[in-house]
Structure 1
Amino acid sequence: MDQASVREQSLTSHLALAACRDGHGNGHLFNELMRTVYLAWFLQQDGYGNEPVGRFKAAEYAVEAALELAHAANEWVLAEDAVPVFKSLLALHDAQLATVPQHKIVSADRRLRQFLAGTASSPVPDADPDGMS
């Protein structure tokens, strides 16, 4: 990808994390975080990354908890203990954007759209009992 596109995608994800962490999130920003997590997952499945599956599941669970809080109390905030998980996954995705061929990114985006159009609850398999494998 060209450097401007890489910077724009990275900045969008990092700003979404900052807003959600600081209690200024909304549905769009949480969706942006999960979009980034799922793209990172799909690219990792193609051989670009080695983050434990449990980290991806932890991100999903953190967003689910935030959405429950938003529904119950109209507070759009990501739990502080989830921030390191997202920082790690955003760093992975930044590295992927800088190194992965464009056709792999397009393929991951297509897989994301297929997932979103389907009925599965997650593209990420359940983690092993230790939570991070």
Structure 2
Amino acid sequence: MSPLRRKPLSKTMLLPHTASYVRELVLHNHVALAAFRAGKGNGNLLAELAKALYLAWYLQEAGFEAADRELYLEVEVILDNAARNSNNDIWFIEPAECGPVTRILDLHERRLSSAPVHAVSEAQARLLRFGRTSRRSPW
């Protein structure tokens, strides 16, 4: 096979993730947000919310259901504020700020439910590459 030709994708890679996988992931994300709403967040939960935000962005760049860039920026500011407050051992997101985060999580759920596994895997790979850079955000 020529080095320029890719191996054909398997059926599994061409289909979306299973509904149970998506439900489990989305539930974890919404529980993370609920913990912050209750003032019980932590660094791991904050990282999960940031991961969902950035994966949603990368899936949008791959052509899946668009949202305004301003929504991503708004959620990034909310998560940045939560990270800054954690320096004072405050792990909280104001209830009024949970709406935009919820919209991103719901958007992410719809994308995970429709995007083929290979597209999600590529978005995850992009997130890992981004994590190894000094860039502040992917946009």
Establish whether TM, by shorter chain, passes 0.5: yes
The match for 2:135 among 98, 120, 124 is 120
Structure 1: how far apart are the matches of 2:29 and 2:82? 17
Alignment correspondent of 1:22: 38
Give 4+ residue runs of structure 1 displaced > 3 Å after superposition: none
Alignment correspondent of 1:49: 65
What runs of 5+ residues in structure 2 fail to find an aligned partner? 1-16
Please give the TM-score of this superposition, normalised by the length of structure 2: 0.85
- Greater C-alpha radius of gyration: 2
Displacement of 1:80 after TM fit?
2.4
Helix, strand or coil at the partner of 1:121:
coil
Displacement of 1:58 after TM fit?
0.9
Alignment correspondent of 1:81: 96
Alignment correspondent of 2:118: 103
Q: Is the 8 A contact 1:25 1:76 kept in 2?
A: yes
Structure 2: how far apart are the matches of 1:82 and 1:108? 26
Displacement of 1:79 after TM fit?
2.4
The question of 1:40 aligning with 2:67 is answered no
Helix, strand or coil at the partner of 1:77:
coil
Please give the TM-score of this superposition, normalised by the length of structure 1: 0.89
Displacement of 1:81 after TM fit?
2.7
RMSD value over aligned CA atoms? 0.9
Alignment correspondent of 1:127: none
Structure 1: how far apart are the matches of 2:75 and 2:97? 7
Displacement of 1:2 after TM fit?
1.2
What runs of 5+ residues in structure 1 fail to find an aligned partner? 125-133
Helix, strand or coil at the partner of 2:22:
helix
What percentage of residue pairs aligned between the two structures are identical?
Answer: 32
For residues 24-51 of structure 1, what are the alpha-carbon distances to aligned partners after superposition, in whole Å with 9 as ceiling and x for unaligned? 1001001100100100000011111221
Q: Is the 8 A contact 1:66 1:79 kept in 2?
A: no
For residues 84-120 of structure 1, what are the alpha-carbon distances to aligned partners after superposition, in whole Å with 9 as ceiling and x for unaligned? 1111000101101110011000000000000001111
Q: Number of residues paired by the alignment?
A: 123
